[in-house]
Structure 1
Amino acid sequence: MCYNDAYTANNELKVTKVTENNLQKNNFEDILFPHWDDLPNFDLYMDQVVEYINAVLTPLELPTVTSTMINNYVKKKMIIAPVKKRYQTLQIADILIISLLKPIFSLDQIRAAIDQITANDYPKNAFNSFVDTLLGYFKNPTNIPSEGASIETQLMQSAASVLFHKLEAEKSLALLQQKHPIKEVPTTK
């Protein structure tokens, strides 16, 4: 499912279903992913963060994010601790990146990559560059990492490529299993 976020007059997060998207073959180009300016621009409490993150990740069929996971990210210093239990745009962006890359990289590798990329660039610019790179792979899977690009850009391109191909392989496997279910063979003791 693809979601769009909207805000009520009281600045409450309201997530609404926009389209049905079950990642059928070749419809990765339909995936929407927010840029920095599309992220909530006001502080969110934990339950709102969990709802928002999961709404964004649902079309990618990635594992659900829980409040326990986010609390662990704070304890491990993967993200900055919330101020008065409220999360800001930077923390939400970090949680999204961690959630995207966690199936393919360790938490330490993800944090190191975020730190390296943002060492010479603003987090907003780095986040938007990664989103553009990722959406580029979803729209055109034959994208080849740019020669002569900065090492930061190459890292983002490689991570986006790995994520895209992992999602594509999982979808292909699910389609195969649906077409040709394999009966489990009993094991002997």
Structure 2
Amino acid sequence: MPELPKAEVLQFHCPRYAEFPQVELYMDQVLQVLEQALAPFDPPGREKLLTSTMVNNYVKQNLLPPPLKKRYGRDHLAYLLMICVLKQILPIGDIYQLIHLQTNACPTAQAYDYFCETLETALSTVFTENSAKIADPPPGTLPEAKLVWTAAYAFANKVYLQKYLATFNK
């Protein structure tokens, strides 16, 4: 059986809100920052996870606030990274609902950092074959947080499946 390429996924670090640039960025810079952050999930030969057209469409669909003078801040980067991950497993309408439930429950920075922590935990659990430990979110988890937890594990399992299938195509 071919070896599953897990190192890149296990080393994945979802940049926290405070790690995003403090200065506002233009579109090409936004795409570059997010492309680097999401590199383990953007296989060569496949459609890009994010393009300027997609960003403009997300603004039109109210998934994220419009840029100020064509510049994007940390909130925009946080929304876009979450959208890029979640669109792998959810339709846009559900992404809108999930993100807005989270950002209505707590500030964007806190909601985004929780998303990052949960995503890293899910990827680590799935890719280290600890999937027997995956049952339910910890007791006392808020309903909005359970939604993020479930989405993160769905994404982690999808990435695992794609990486595993790719080993058979080599």
> Which category of TM-score, normalised to the shorter sequence, fits these structures?
0.7 to 0.9
Can you list the C-alpha shifts for 1:42-72, whole angstroms capped at 9, x where unaligned? 1001111111111111122263311111111
Overall identity of the aligned pairs, in %: 32
| TM-score normalised by length of structure 1 | 0.77
Q: 1:111 corresponds to which residue?
A: 96
**Separation in 1, partners of 2:107, 2:97:** 16
Match of residue 56, structure 1, among 6, 27, 37: 37
Runs of 4+ in 1 over 6 A off after TM superposition: none
Of 144-153 and 158-167, deviating more is 144-153
Structure (1 or 2) with the greater helix fraction? 2
Deviation of the 1:27 alpha carbon: 5.0
**Separation in 1, partners of 2:6, 2:35:** 22
**Separation in 2, partners of 1:26, 1:85:** 37
Q: Highest relative contact order (Cα 8 Å, sep 6+), 1 or 2?
A: 2
Structure 1 unpaired stretches of 5+ = 1-22, 179-189
Read off the aligned partner of 1:165 and give its amino acid letter: N
Aligned residues: 156
Given the alignment of the two structures, is residue 33 of structure 1 paired with residue 8 of structure 2, yes or no?
no
Match of residue 77, structure 1, among 62, 87, 103: 62
Q: Larger Rg: 1 or 2?
A: 1
Given the alignment of the two structures, is residue 165 of structure 1 paired with residue 160 of structure 2, yes or no?
no
Structure 2 unpaired stretches of 5+ = none
Q: 1:44 corresponds to which residue?
A: 25
Q: 1:156 corresponds to which residue?
A: 148
Given the alignment of the two structures, is residue 174 of structure 1 paired with residue 166 of structure 2, yes or no?
yes
| TM-score normalised by length of structure 2 | 0.85
How large is the Cα RMSD of the aligned pairs? 1.6
Read off the aligned partner of 1:110 and give its amino acid letter: I
